[in-house]
Amino acid sequence: MPMTRPNILLFMSDNQPADLLACYGNDEVNTPHIDRLAERGTRFANAFCVNAMCSPCRASVLTGLMPSQHGIHNWLDDRLIERWPENWSAVAEFTNIPSIVKQAGYATALIGKFHLGVPFVPQLAFDHWVTFPHGHTTSFYSNEVIDQDERYRFAGHTVDFFTDKTIEFLEHQADQDEPFFAFVPYTGPYGHWPAIQGRADNEFAGLYDDADMHSIPREGISSEVLDRFGMRVAAGGLREQFKGPLLLPNNLESLRNYFSQVSLIDDRVGRVLAALERLGLDRDTVVIYTSDHGFSLGHNGIWGHGAASFPASAHRPSYQIPLVMAGGPVAEGSGVIHRHPERRVAAPLPRVPSSSR
């Protein structure tokens, strides 16, 4: 593949702050594959999302627009999907990355979480379409999935499903002449109950069984707040699942579960990178690892994240995200960047307009 048109492989985790990677200074989490990616490429020390909510960030990544331009300021509630227009996408009216690269001759694939509209049909000029029908993860296991024009239930971990499908896509592309853009938005580590409630059921749980979680503020909250919350649940004002953010700072099993999901994702990224190398695609592929937004882990008394329309939750942990690039035209061992790079590192494609429909 000519270096003037490198492949682009974009990993995006779900709810992961920058400091939940060892290469960002966390000595408690095990992420060797992403750490090595950072060592041989570039790690951005000050990368921030535009809004600490899922849908606005994904819309901005794919369109290059701010929420004030594309109009999405909160997560899209897919419980209301029956009310959405047929085959609707919230950003279809805007110029977007998959449509740009497709016009430039790239094969395009979404393999992971969409959360920007109806997931049952391919959207936004993605030729290869593998996703699942929900914007939120209640369990990592036994989820319905959408695999091109098929729908079925996958018994294992959803991240494993998307990893296997990504490798299948790469194996197909290895025999093709055109470059590819593969967007792989994983469904973890997530960080919310019930997905991370209890001890993790994955091979990395044992890494954290004795972890004291010293990298997370664990002051907890008062019993009075918990009692009041319980009364509101009993009165029908709130759902029990929202009790999770109140209990998590002192729930070691859930915290360790969350960290194990990060290690699982790191391992699966490693599997995909190994496939790239095995197929001879690694030299001509720009690999990017990032997250949709950050996540407060008890910092500033907050667990989780919050929309930019609620400034009280707009603290650094919810907005600072990991951003690592390597491969293709990205210089090896280029280190840490603390400001916006002036040198272009991706494919020479048309620039996404700052305001485009």
Question: What pLDDT score does 305 carry?
Answer: 82
Residue 230 in any domain: the answer is no
Residue 217 in any domain: the answer is no
Question: Could you tell me if 111 and 161 are in contact, meaning their C-beta atoms sit under 8 angstroms apart?
Answer: no
Question: Could you tell me if 339 and 306 are in contact, meaning their C-beta atoms sit under 8 angstroms apart?
Answer: no
Question: What pLDDT score does 300 carry?
Answer: 77
Owning domain of residue 22:
7-200+262-337
Question: What pLDDT score does 193 carry?
Answer: 86
Helix, strand, coil % (nearest 5) of the chain? 35, 20, 45
Residue 210 in any domain: the answer is no
DSSP codes joined into one string, 170-220: HHHHTT-SS-EEEEEEEEEE---TTTT-SS--STTGGGGTT---TTS----
Cα 84 from Cα 87, distance rounded (Å): 8
Question: What pLDDT score does 296 carry?
Answer: 86
> What is the per-residue pLDDT across 203-234, written as a single tens digit (0 to 9) for each?
999 999 999 999 988 766 666 666 765 655 55
Looking up residue 44, the CATH number of its domain turns out to be 3.40.720.10
Cα 287 from Cα 281, distance rounded (Å): 11
Residue whose tokens read 């000519």: 2
- Length of the chain (residues): 357
Question: What pLDDT score does 336 carry?
Answer: 76
Question: What pLDDT score does 2 carry?
Answer: 47
CA nearest to 48, candidates 84, 23, 24, 17: 17
Query: In a 3-state reduction of DSSP, which class is residue 89?
Result: strand
Total count of domains within the chain: 1
Question: Could you tell me if 313 and 305 are in contact, meaning their C-beta atoms sit under 8 angstroms apart?
Answer: yes
Residue 352 in any domain: the answer is no
CA distances from 247 to 298, 301, 317 (A): 10, 12, 19
Question: What pLDDT score does 258 carry?
Answer: 96
Residue 251 in any domain: the answer is no
Question: What pLDDT score does 273 carry?
Answer: 99
> What is the per-residue pLDDT across 62-83, written as a single tens digit (0 to 9) for each?
999 999 999 999 999 888 888 9
Residue 289 in any domain: the answer is yes
Question: Could you tell me if 170 and 98 are in contact, meaning their C-beta atoms sit under 8 angstroms apart?
Answer: no
Collect the ranges in the chain with pLDDT lower than 50: 1-2, 344-345
